[in-house]
Structure 1
Amino acid sequence: MSFPRTARTLAASVLAVTGALTAAIAPAQAATTPDTSCERVCILDARTGSHPDYDRLVFDLTDHVAQPAVQAQLSADGSYTPGAAGEMRHLAIAGKSYLLLDVYPAQARSSGPDAYTTPAVQPVSLPSLKGVQMTGDYEGHIGFGLSLGDYTRYQVSTLTAPNRIVVDVYH
């Protein structure tokens, strides 16, 4: 059985319109899918190394956004307050002194392609750096505590290509 020419033309037109609508709808549906990339800087991991005069801690960051600000503060006893109104806590790894870092604006995702992969508490056996601990992730502020041995001074820098935060703790 054969359809008349007008029926075939109508069927072809319906298929063409349906295909065009499907193509037009697909991007709109994709746009509503949650984006897995970081809106702010994502801190990906922390790595350490020892040099003759200093120990180095590097935080690797996502590359698609501007560098965050980093504030550093010495702490004699390793106490910190996570979040806005949390109770006073102490770093888990003992040290002779402590350096607290506040990275803003930033985030540390727990899963996905931009996840922070270093353990929240990471012991380190270097001359001046004894441990690194994530102390909080609250409203765009990421906190880290560094447990230190004997040291004379520290320097915090942000570098690009690739984006990273570098903390040098001198012996």
Structure 2
Amino acid sequence: MRMRILAIVVAVLAALLTAPAGGNAAVAPSAAPRAVDVVDLRFATHPGFDRVVIDLRGGATPEFRDGRSRRFFFEGSGKPVPIRGAAGVWLSITGNGHDAAGNNIFRGPRLARPGFPTLKALALTGDFEGQVTFVFALRHRADYTVRHLSGPSRLVIDFQHR
């Protein structure tokens, strides 16, 4: 019985290794999802909250991480980001801000100081190895939410006013 199974495995491996390249191969192409592209960022203030919208393209629902910090540094150089607040939030998105040739596809602001009731300033601090990171300097420690909306795909971050 073991010899029969071994013979079948060897035959299958031999068939796979000698299969012609191109359209006649029996192996299906990979269906890996395309990475999300981070293409723009906009912001506005509303009654009760300040909003940041990060526009995305391609891929599925983006993966992201977020957290709080009062001090921010540019990824790679480690230099301090020239924005300060009484509180702050960072957001790292699994995606790309550039294409395969290294050309920027992110067209939004790299540093902005809107001076809203809660959102004081923001910056793009990293676009490296499939992670795009933004930081947000706040006037006070505020509750915030991050959610994904589709049609078109975007991340929406709302910072509550006092």
Same fold (TM over 0.5): yes
Q: Residue 162 of structure 1 aligns to a residue in which SS?
A: coil
RMSD: 2.3
The residue that corresponds to 2:125 in the other structure is 135
Q: Residue 93 of structure 1 aligns to a residue in which SS?
A: coil
The residue that corresponds to 2:50 in the other structure is 55
The residue that corresponds to 1:123 in the other structure is 113
Q: Residue 51 of structure 2 aligns to a residue in which SS?
A: strand
Classify 1:117/1:81 alpha carbon distance in 2 versus 1 (closer, same or farther; 3 Å).
closer
Structure of greater Rg: 1
Instruction: For 1:123 and 1:81, locate their aligned partners in 2 and report how far apart those are by CA, in whole Å.
Output: 17
Give runs of aligned pairs for residues 1-171 of structure 1, distance below 5 A.
39-62=34-57, 64-76=58-70, 78-80=71-73, 82-83=75-76, 86-87=77-78, 89-104=79-94, 106-109=95-98, 115-171=105-161
- How far residue 151 of structure 1 moved from its aligned partner, in angstroms, is 4.2
**8 Å CA contact 1:151, 1:170 repeated in 2:** no
- How far residue 113 of structure 1 moved from its aligned partner, in angstroms, is 9.8
Per-residue Cα deviation, 1:51-91 (whole angstroms, up to 9, x for no partner): 111100000111x3212111111002x233614xx53x332
**8 Å CA contact 1:56, 1:169 repeated in 2:** yes
**8 Å CA contact 1:54, 1:170 repeated in 2:** yes
- How far residue 112 of structure 1 moved from its aligned partner, in angstroms, is 9.9
Give the structure with the higher percent helix: 1
Percent of aligned positions that are identical = 29
Instruction: For 1:91 and 1:66, locate their aligned partners in 2 and report how far apart those are by CA, in whole Å.
Output: 31
Task: Count the aligned residue pairs.
Answer: 127
**8 Å CA contact 1:75, 1:98 repeated in 2:** yes
Runs of 4+ in 1 over 4 A off after TM superposition: 110-114
